[in-house]
Amino acid sequence: MINPPIHRSQLANGITILTIANPSADIVSGRFFIQAGSRWETAAQAGLAQLLTSVMMKGTDRLSAAEIADRVESVGAGLGAETTTDYIKLSLKTVKLDLVDIFKLAGEILRTPNFLDTQIELERKLILQAIRSQTEQPFNNAYRQLRTALYGTHPYSRSSLGTTSTMAQITRQDLVDYHQTHIRPDRLIISLAGRITPAEAIDLATKVFGDWEIPNIAAPTLVTEPVTTQPQYQVEHQATQQAIVMLGYLAPPVHDPDCIALKLIDSYLSNGMSSRLFVEMREKRGLAYDVSAFYPTRLDTSHFAVYMGTAASNTQIAVSGLRAEVDRLCLEPLSAAEIQTAKDKLLGQYALGKQTNGQLAQTYGWYELLGLGVDFDTQFSQAIQQLTSVQLQATADKYLSEPYISIVSPQENGAVEVVTG
């Protein structure tokens, strides 16, 4: 798909509207991004944003949960909400004929959730079940342990679900206060993609949100301390059939120029069955049930991680093998063929991620929220193409020299070993 035209406008109350014209199908998808999320929670209220988005969908001042579900399902539309680290999001998908009604419903959910006690308790129970389920999954435990070592008290150390303790203590007033503080027009980005013109999008947003006034309180600001942790080697034992070995490194946020080079390194290591980690660790050495890497896009300090699921007897071999593959990036430049293959994979995958209206609304709305702007779409592809093996080696050497190591092993019951250094 050729990049569609994108129109950006702003209402008087601060709402940003992106319109991505794609008339090829009679479908409109939307994303309503709020500058909030688990990054804006205190440690004592971890999980608050998650509970908020769950309960928001379960009733407004005018409609019950059943009535909301009926209005969506009766026309075959989609409407949902979620919390991430750096934002809260409502998503919609509908045929053009029903867009006005579904858009109005989304606006009502955002603006006037009723936070019924019965729905709060129901959603709380479901989230507590999800938290308990996570504790039974070795990968999640290894990742939790790694985040804690990497970030210390920074909000990125915490799961967006919170903990059983914090989730149990969140009150209805906490939800009301968070909603009043964060869900406001000057923190809202609306991204619409499909058979819709900019004039139609602006008119619809004005009718639904134009009378929404900015509160007479300052917009919330977030001040987080710099991440200053030291590498650790941690082992947690759990009843599992395999070991999870995870190596992590503090990495730059999305606005750092080095971010793009690390995205290409991530692609080289983990993109598909011909990736370096898959070929070396699984195909050649037969060590891995699962092996990959990931580098999340973050507004604050991010992290780069490589991991492997393997037999418990292979734990130390997995640690040394993963570390050798990362160290190789610091010591040896990639060949011309290796770097071109990584570029082709990454840019091909990136293009495939913008095929549907939902993907378009997500991509450009997300860029706007991150402060990158819609032009970043073109800038990203150009920057990837220009990267050299020398630049990749320098970036790897800068960030990927000393790992934080997190292991979940089936060997003993409940113990956690920590070695700092």
Q: Is the distance from CB of 399 to CB of 229 less than 8 angstroms?
A: no
Q: At residue 2, does pLDDT exceed 80?
A: no
Q: How confident is the model at residue 421 (pLDDT cuts 50, 70, 90)?
A: very low
How far apart CA 342 and CA 298 sit, in angstroms, is: 22
Q: At residue 117, does pLDDT exceed 60?
A: yes
Q: At residue 418, does pLDDT exceed 60?
A: no
Q: CATH number of the domain at 6-209, please?
A: 3.30.830.10
Within this chain, domains 6-209 and 232-420 share the same CATH topology: yes
Q: At residue 72, does pLDDT exceed 60?
A: yes
Residue type, 347: L
Mean pLDDT, range 297-312, rounded to an integer = 96
Predicted pLDDT of residue 5 = 87
Predicted pLDDT of residue 414 = 46
Q: At residue 420, does pLDDT exceed 50?
A: no
Q: CATH number of the domain at 232-420, please?
A: 3.30.830.10
H/E stretch holding 401: none
How far apart CA 313 and CA 372 sit, in angstroms, is: 46
Predicted pLDDT of residue 411 = 66
- Burial label for 107, CB within 10 Å (0-12, 13-18, 19+), is buried
pLDDT digits (tens, 9 = 90+) for 181-191: 999 999 999 99
User: Distance from CA of residue 104 to its chain's centroid?
Assistant: 26
Q: Is the distance from CB of 42 to CB of 177 less than 8 angstroms?
A: no
Q: At residue 222, does pLDDT exceed 90?
A: no
Burial 350-379 (b: 16+ CB within 10 A, else e): beeebebbbebbbbbbbbbbbebebebbee
Mean pLDDT, range 249-266, rounded to an integer = 97
Q: Where are the domains of the chain?
A: 6-209, 232-420
Write the DSSP assignment of 318-340 as a string of letters. HHHHHHHHHHHHHHSPPPHHHHH
Mean pLDDT, range 229-256, rounded to an integer = 95
pLDDT digits (tens, 9 = 90+) for 323-375: 999 999 999 999 999 999 999 999 999 999 999 999 999 999 999 999 999 89
pLDDT digits (tens, 9 = 90+) for 148-171: 999 999 999 999 999 999 999 999
pLDDT digits (tens, 9 = 90+) for 268-289: 999 999 999 999 999 999 998 9
Predicted pLDDT of residue 255 = 95
Mean pLDDT, range 236-258, rounded to an integer = 95
Q: Is the distance from CB of 357 to CB of 194 less than 8 angstroms?
A: yes
The per-residue pLDDT of the chain, averaged, comes to 94
The pTM assigned to this predicted structure is 0.93
Q: How confident is the model at residue 417 (pLDDT cuts 50, 70, 90)?
A: low
Q: How confident is the model at residue 314 (pLDDT cuts 50, 70, 90)?
A: very high
Which strands sit side by side in the sheet containing 404-409, from one edge to the other?
A: 290-294, 302-310, 243-251, 404-409, 232-237, 416-420
User: Distance from CA of residue 62 to its chain's centroid?
Assistant: 32
